[in-house]
Chain A
Amino acid sequence: MHLEYKVQGGNFSKAGHASGEIKKVLKQLNVNPMVIKRIVVALYEAEVNIVAHAYEGDIIVDIDDSKVHVVLNDSGPGIPSIERAMEKGYSTASPLVREMGFGAGMGLPNIKKNTDELNIKSVVGVGTTVDFINYL
């Protein structure tokens, strides 16, 4: 099963919308609630990352009977050091974004914690791809 969603950078009022929709689908597919929880945490963090940092992006989800594969593509500033971004508490979020309650530097570490396979590719000035798999 294939799902696609568009995410707009800076649109904080809609942040989490795609994650919510995907959660609804996973519930109907009878995926174990605890597995859904992990996927939704990772997905929400990654979606908010696009909203907080990038100009725009899309989320592509493929589901089969063994796994959920999620790819988040964005065009945006990119991540200069993925290694540093994986550290807890490290954040490049603007003061404005932080004021809204985002940008605590827990995004990528949280995604790592809640996924079975995680692959991040980024080109500075072009964009970032977050690709993760959770097994069912």
Chain B
Amino acid sequence: MEKQSPSSIFHAIYVDEDRCIGCTRCMKICSTAAIRICNGTAMISNSRCIDCGECMKACNSNAIHISQGDLQSIFKYKYRVALIPAVLFGQFKLDVTHDDLHRALLSLGFTSVYEEELSAEFQIDAIRRFQQESDIKPVISSFCPAIVRLIQVKFPTLTENLVLVKSLIDITGLTILKEAANKGIDPSDVGIFYITPCAAKICAVVSPVGDEKSPITGFLNMDMMFDRLSIELQKIKGTVDPDFKRKTSLTRTEVKWSLTGGEIKHAFGRKLSIDGIANVIEFLNKVDDEAIDDIDFLELRACDQGCAGGILTQGNRFLTVEKLMMRANKKAVNKRHGPYYSDITYDEIKVPTVNPRPIEGLDKDISVAIKKMEQKQEIYKMLPQLDCGCCGCPTCEAFSEDVVKSLKPLSSCMFIQVAFNSKNDKGKEIIKKIWGDSKIVEELKNKLENDN
């Protein structure tokens, strides 16, 4: 796994420049305005991207990719653990049993299988403690890594509302290592591989927020694993393995945990669950404006239907939810798990702090920022405010910001170009006809001439 210096932020999403046609779809959907089109291809800003995967969903050219884990890399370890989220079950037909899936994973080369949600009880504890020990409202779930990153960059004051606890993946990873240590196994012989439903969870594994290092060794993408597991499931179909005994089972709470509404019933007070990144941003804007002060807990998920809507999932998200609900109601157990549970203390799963990483500042120096802000407003007034995207920026506002930051010349705007080029009267006439006189003003021309 690659090591990250503190100044660079790890991202799992990247653009395939050979495939990208610069169509602007990803740029327009990005909720943190992280994408610009430059020399015909999309570029993703390292500081702004939160790895939510919306750009990948929007791309028609299959030009946005996610880092791939390598299944062969598990064989470097003597003990090879598959750590799987409950939504993996929801990808397969209902006749694929919990046992079948574990057996298929073992036949791919893993030596044991654990479910991510096995440590959900720890998170319930952490949420309740956090609610009791602070007077912060609303307390915000830190389950979804894309949401944690969204809050860091776009809502920096709300970082203090996040529950300061390790991710479920990491807590379960710790319990696995403890269990191994109790059996006298050297931790360096254990490789824990997380089968991820999305890009944000890859980031959570490679560079966890607020934590030095994750106990997880690596990740494997769920879309690739779906294909591999489907083949194995075909092989074992109708066969019986007398030696096989499944070690773990999930409770109802655990099966539903990653879905929308999975967490909230365990929090205190008035609570809401919101999924879909646009919905989350709309609500957090309200919270950030101090307009909402009587909600105690927010469960937020970047994807519609929670992890069932993860970018790397194969199945339809609504059917995945339906299948998981069936499983929760029929197959899940109600009692608690084995003894490896109790070994972890609250202190071991706390994270010290989540740092804000605000992206919106125009300059570090406030007096310079004020000047730039004034310039930005001036420029914005001259622009057509159509958010056409032809300049390579998602909105006219983003463009005016890029101009004051000297990232783009003013002439990147088509309207400005047409207005500036007095020889091109025909173009000017067309634009006048469509958008009205107000978009082309003489003042603008004068202003531009002065600027040059």
Contact = CB atoms under 8 A, between A and B. Distances in A.
Nearest to A63: B370
A interface: dominant SS: helix
A23 B362 contact: no
Interface residues of B, number: 23
Interface stretch (B26-34, B39-47, B234-242, B283-291): B283-291
B367 A65 contact: yes
B366 A31 contact: yes
B366 A27 contact: no
A30 B362 contact: yes
Interface stretch (A33-41, A52-60, A72-80, A119-127): A33-41
B245 interface: no
Q: Which 7 pairs of residues, A with B, have the shortest CB-CB distance?
A: A30-B361, A65-B367, A33-B156, A27-B360, A33-B157, A29-B369, A65-B366
Nearest to A21: B289
A30 B364 contact: yes
Interface in A1-25: 1, 16, 19-20, 23-25
B289 A19 contact: yes
A30 B289 contact: no
A19 B291 CA distance: 10
Contacts of B156: 33
Task: Point out which of A1, A29, A64 has the most chain B C-beta atoms below 10 A from its C-beta.
Answer: A29
A64 B370 contact: yes
A28 B402 CA distance: 13
A40 to B, nearest CB: 6
Interface of B: 156-157, 285, 288-291, 356, 358, 360-367, 369-370, 373-374, 376, 401
Nearest to B156: A33
A1 B358 CA distance: 21
A90 interface: no
A36 B289 contact: no
Contact of A29 (B157, B285, B290, B373): B373
B364 to A, nearest CB: 6
Interface residues of A, number: 23
A41 B289 CA distance: 7
Residue from A33, A37, A65 with most neighbouring chain B CB atoms (10 Å): A33
A90 B376 CA distance: 43
Given A1-B374, A33-B156, A36-B157, A28 B289 contact: no
B397 to A, nearest CB: 10
B157 A25 contact: no
Contact of A136 (B285, B288, B363, B366): B366
B370 A29 contact: yes
Contacts of A19: 289-290
Contacts of A23: 288-289
Nearest to A19: B289
Contacts of A31: 366
Given A34-B157, A41-B290, A28 B367 contact: no
Contacts of A44: 289-291
Interface of A: 1, 16, 19-20, 23-25, 27-31, 33-34, 36-37, 40-41, 44, 63-65, 136
A64 B157 contact: no
A44 B285 CA distance: 13
Nearest to A45: B290
A28 B157 contact: no
26 contacts: A1-B374, A16-B291, A19-B290, A20-B289, A24-B360, A25-B373, A27-B360, A27-B361, A28-B360, A28-B362, A28-B373, A28-B376, A29-B361, A29-B366, A30-B363, A30-B365, A30-B366, A31-B366, A33-B156, A34-B157, A36-B157, A64-B367, A64-B370, A65-B365, A65-B367, A65-B370
B366 A28 contact: no
A27 B289 contact: no
Contacts of B291: 16, 44
Contact of A16 (B289, B360, B362, B364): B289
Contacts of A64: 367, 370
Contacts of B401: 28
A37 B356 CA distance: 14
A47 B23 CA distance: 42
Nearest to B362: A28
A28 B290 contact: no
Residue from B356, B367, B373, B376 with most neighbouring chain A CB atoms (10 Å): B373
B51 to A, nearest CB: 22
A40 B289 contact: yes
Most chain B CB within a 10 A radius of its CB, from A1, A28, A65: A28
Contacts of B373: 1, 25, 28-29
A1 B370 contact: yes
A122 to B, nearest CB: 24
Contact of B356 (A28, A33, A136): A33
Given A29-B370, A29-B373, A40 B363 contact: no
A44 B356 CA distance: 23
